[in-house]
Amino acid sequence: MTAIKESSTIQENKQYALEKCPVTFVMEKIGGYWKPIILYQLSTGHKRYSELKRAIPAVTEKMLIQHLKQLEADGLVIREAKPVVPPFVTYRLSKAGEGLIPVIEAVASWAFKMKDGVFDVESLE
Amino acid sequence: MTAIKESSTIQENKQYALEKCPVTFVMEKIGGYWKPIILYQLSTGHKRYSELKRAIPAVTEKMLIQHLKQLEADGLVIREAKPVVPPFVTYRLSKAGEGLIPVIEAVASWAFKMKDGVFDVESLE
DNA sequence: ACAAGTACTTACCCTAAAGTATGTATTATG
DNA sequence: CATAATACATACTTTAGGGTAAGTACTTGT
Q: Would B3 be classed as within a structural domain?
A: no
* Strand nucleotide closest to residue A49 (CA to C1'): D7
Number of separate domains in chain B: 1
Spatial contact of A87 and A81, defined as CB atoms under 8 Å apart: yes
Residues recorded for chain B: 125
Q: Would A99 be classed as within a structural domain?
A: yes
Separation of A6 CA and D14 C1' (Å) = 24
Best residue of B10, B24, B104, B112 to probe chain A, by most A CBs closer than 10 Å: B24
Region A49-68 average pLDDT: 95
Spatial contact of B108 and A22, defined as CB atoms under 8 Å apart: yes
User: For B89, which DSSP code?
Assistant: E
A94 touches chain B (CB under 8 A): yes
Q: Would A21 be classed as within a structural domain?
A: no
Q: Which amino acid is residue B9, in one-letter code?
A: T
- Record: contact B33-A37, CB cut-off 8 A: no
- Average pLDDT of chain B, as a whole number: 85
Q: Would A65 be classed as within a structural domain?
A: yes
Provide, rounded to the nearest whole percent, the portion of chain A with pLDDT above 90: 61
3 state DSSP class of B81: strand
Region B22-37 average pLDDT: 86
Q: Would B122 be classed as within a structural domain?
A: no
> Cα(B71)–Cα(B104) distance, rounded to whole angstroms?
15
Separation of B81 CA and D15 C1' (Å) = 35
* Distances, alpha carbon A53 to alpha carbons A45, A47, A64, A98, A105, in Å: 15, 10, 8, 21, 22
- CATH number, domain at B37? 1.10.10.10
pLDDT of residue A17: 52
> Cα(A17)–Cα(B63) distance, rounded to whole angstroms?
15
- Record: contact B99-A114, CB cut-off 8 A: yes
> What angle do the packed helices A35-42 and A101-115 form, to 10 degrees?
100
pLDDT of residue A32: 82
Q: Would A74 be classed as within a structural domain?
A: yes
Taking alpha carbons only, the member of B93, A16, B109, B39 closest to residue B119 is B109
Q: Would B76 be classed as within a structural domain?
A: yes
What are the φ/ψ torsions at residue A80 (nearest 5 degrees)? -130, 125
Q: Which of A11-20, A39-48, A99-108, B46-55 has the least mean pLDDT?
A: A11-20
Spatial contact of A34 and A42, defined as CB atoms under 8 Å apart: no
Q: Would A2 be classed as within a structural domain?
A: no
Domain ranges, residue B60? 9-114
pLDDT of residue B7: 53
pLDDT of residue B102: 95
Q: How confident is the model at residue B115 (pLDDT cuts 50, 70, 90)?
A: confident
Maximum average pLDDT range among A86-95, A106-115, B5-14:
A86-95
Query: What does the pLDDT look like over A73-102, one tens digit per residue?
Result: 999 999 999 999 899 999 999 999 999 999
What are the φ/ψ torsions at residue B40 (nearest 5 degrees)? -60, -45
pLDDT of residue B125: 54
> Cα(B91)–Cα(B19) distance, rounded to whole angstroms?
30
Burial classification of residue B84, based on how many CB atoms lie within 10 Å of its CB (0-12 exposed, 13-18 middle, 19 or more buried)? exposed
